[in-house]
Structure 1
Amino acid sequence: MRFLLSRFSTIGLLLGVLFLAASLTPSLIPRDPVLQGILGGVVLALGHLVGRIIEALWRLADMPVLRGRLWRVVRGVLWATVLGTLGLALRYSHVWQNDLRLRMGIEPATGAHFLQVLFLAGAVFAVLFAAGQIVAAFARLVRSRLYRVMPRRRADVLGFLLVGIALFILTRDGLLDTTIRAMDSSFEAAQNLFDTAPPPPTEARIPGSPASVIDWEAMGEPGRDFVTSGPDAAVISAFTGRPALDPIRVYVGRANAQTPQARADLALAELQRLGAFDRRILVVTSPTGTGWMDPGSHDPLEYMHGGDIATVAVQYSYLQSPYALLFETSTGLDQATATVSTIHDYWRRLPEETRPRLYIHGLSLGAWSSMYATTLFHLVNDPIAGAFWAGPPFPSDFWNRVQRARTEGSPWVLPRIGDGSLIRYAARGEGGDAGTADWGAMRIMFLQYPSDPIVFFDPFSTFRPPVWMGEPPGDGVSPHLRFMPIVTQLQLGLDMALSTTAPAGYGHSYHAQDYIEPWVQVTAPEGWTDADTERLKAHCDNGFQVGCSNR
Structure 2
Amino acid sequence: MTAVIDRPTATVDIAAVALPRVLTSVAVTSMVAVSLAPSLLPRSAVVQAVLTGLLAALGWGLASAWHHLSRRLGAGRPAPSRESARLLVLLAGAVTVAAAMLLADHWQDSLRVAMGVPTVGGGHWAQVVVGAAAIALILAAGTRAVAAGVRRLGAVRSAAVVAALAIATQFWAGPALWQARAQSYHAANTTVDTSLRQPVSSSISGSPDSLTSWSSLGAQGRKFVAAGAAYGAVRTYAGIDSAPDQDGRVRLAVHELERAGGLAKSTVVVAVPTGSGWIDGNAAEGLEQRFGDDVALVGVQYSSAPSWVTFLFDRDAAEQSARALFTAVSDRISLLPVGERPRLYVYGQSLGAVGASSIFRNEELGERACGALYAGPPAGSARTAGAVVLANSSDPVVRWSPRLLLHPPALDRTRTDAPRPAWLPVVSFVQTSVDLLSALDAPAGHGHRYGTDQGTALPDGGCATGAAPA
Normalised to the residue count of structure 1, the TM-score between the two structures is 0.71
Is the Cα–Cα contact under 8 Å of residues 233 and 288 in structure 2 kept in the other structure?
yes
1:477-505 deviations in whole A, cap 9, x for unaligned?
435x3445544323211101101111111
Cα offset, 1:525, TM superposition: 10
Q: Which residue of 1 aligns with 2:416?
A: 475
Is the Cα–Cα contact under 8 Å of residues 327 and 365 in structure 2 kept in the other structure?
no
Match of 1:20 among 15, 32, 46: 32
Cα offset, 1:517, TM superposition: 4.6
Within a 5 Å distance, the mapping from 1:35-434 to structure 2 comes to 35-55=47-67, 62=74, 67-68=79-80, 70-133=81-144, 135-137=146-148, 139-140=150-151, 143-145=154-156, 163=162, 166-167=165-166, 170=169, 184-185=183-184, 187-189=186-188, 191-193=190-192, 201-233=199-231, 246-379=232-365, 382-399=367-384, 402=385, 423=386
Cα offset, 1:316, TM superposition: 1.9
Q: Which amino acid aligns with 2:457?
A: P
Residue 452 of structure 2 is aligned to residue 452 of structure 1: no
SS at 2:31 equivalent: helix
Cα offset, 1:267, TM superposition: 0.6
1:42-61 deviations in whole A, cap 9, x for unaligned?
11122233334544665677
Q: Which residue of 2 aligns with 1:535?
A: none
Task: Note closer, same or farther for the CA distance 1:197–1:30 as it changes in structure 2 (3 Å cut).
Answer: closer
Q: Which amino acid aligns with 1:510?
A: Y
Q: Which residue of 1 aligns with 2:458?
A: 519
Task: Note closer, same or farther for the CA distance 1:503–1:200 as it changes in structure 2 (3 Å cut).
Answer: closer
Task: Note closer, same or farther for the CA distance 1:516–1:260 as it changes in structure 2 (3 Å cut).
Answer: closer
Cα offset, 1:461, TM superposition: 3.0
Q: Which amino acid aligns with 1:204?
A: S
**2:404, 2:198 → 1: CA distance?**
50
- How well do the aligned residues superpose, as a CA RMSD in angstroms? 3.6
Task: Note closer, same or farther for the CA distance 1:209–1:390 as it changes in structure 2 (3 Å cut).
Answer: same
Cα offset, 1:168, TM superposition: 7.8
Q: Which amino acid aligns with 1:85?
A: T
Moved more, 180-189 or 489-498: 180-189
Cα offset, 1:283, TM superposition: 0.8
**2:371, 2:171 → 1: CA distance?**
42
Is the Cα–Cα contact under 8 Å of residues 453 and 508 in structure 1 kept in the other structure?
yes
Q: Which amino acid aligns with 1:213?
A: L
Match of 1:489 among 429, 436, 439: 429
Q: Which amino acid aligns with 2:399?
A: F
SS at 2:122 equivalent: coil
Is the Cα–Cα contact under 8 Å of residues 371 and 460 in structure 2 kept in the other structure?
no
**2:175, 2:446 → 1: CA distance?**
32
Q: Which amino acid aligns with 2:225?
A: V
Task: Note closer, same or farther for the CA distance 1:172–1:346 as it changes in structure 2 (3 Å cut).
Answer: farther
**1:355, 1:172 → 2: CA distance?**
54
Is the Cα–Cα contact under 8 Å of residues 239 and 300 in structure 2 kept in the other structure?
yes
Q: Which amino acid aligns with 1:29?
A: L
Q: Which residue of 2 aligns with 1:532?
A: none
Is the Cα–Cα contact under 8 Å of residues 216 and 224 in structure 1 kept in the other structure?
yes
**2:395, 2:431 → 1: CA distance?**
13
Q: Which amino acid aligns with 1:163?
A: V
Higher-Rg member (1/2): 2
Is the Cα–Cα contact under 8 Å of residues 377 and 383 in structure 1 kept in the other structure?
no
**1:39, 1:308 → 2: CA distance?**
49
Q: Which residue of 2 aligns with 1:466?
A: 408
Q: Which residue of 2 aligns with 1:431?
A: none
Normalised to the residue count of structure 2, the TM-score between the two structures is 0.82
Cα offset, 1:66, TM superposition: 5.1
Task: Note closer, same or farther for the CA distance 1:498–1:330 as it changes in structure 2 (3 Å cut).
Answer: same
SS at 1:36 equivalent: helix
Task: Note closer, same or farther for the CA distance 1:164–1:114 as it changes in structure 2 (3 Å cut).
Answer: farther
Q: Which amino acid aligns with 1:96?
A: W
Cα offset, 1:176, TM superposition: 6.2
Q: Which residue of 1 aligns with 2:13?
A: none
**2:195, 2:182 → 1: CA distance?**
19
Moved more, 345-354 or 20-29: 345-354
Q: Which amino acid aligns with 2:376?
A: G
Cα offset, 1:230, TM superposition: 3.6
Is the Cα–Cα contact under 8 Å of residues 9 and 48 in structure 1 kept in the other structure?
no
Cα offset, 1:345, TM superposition: 3.5
Q: Which residue of 1 aligns with 2:11?
A: none
Q: Which residue of 2 aligns with 1:509?
A: 449
**2:272, 2:389 → 1: CA distance?**
15
**1:190, 1:24 → 2: CA distance?**
38
1:226-283 deviations in whole A, cap 9, x for unaligned?
22434433xxxxxxxxxxxx21211001111221121111111212323423321111
Unaligned runs of 5+ in 1: 147-158, 234-245, 403-422, 424-443, 527-551
**1:374, 1:495 → 2: CA distance?**
30
Task: Note closer, same or farther for the CA distance 1:51–1:372 as it changes in structure 2 (3 Å cut).
Answer: farther
Cα offset, 1:284, TM superposition: 0.7
**1:24, 1:31 → 2: CA distance?**
10
Cα offset, 1:312, TM superposition: 0.5
**1:160, 1:492 → 2: CA distance?**
35
Q: Which amino acid aligns with 1:192?
A: T
SS at 2:137 equivalent: helix
**2:283, 2:294 → 1: CA distance?**
16
Is the Cα–Cα contact under 8 Å of residues 139 and 163 in structure 1 kept in the other structure?
no
SS at 1:500 equivalent: coil
Q: Which amino acid aligns with 2:377?
A: P
SS at 1:451 equivalent: coil
**2:458, 2:274 → 1: CA distance?**
19
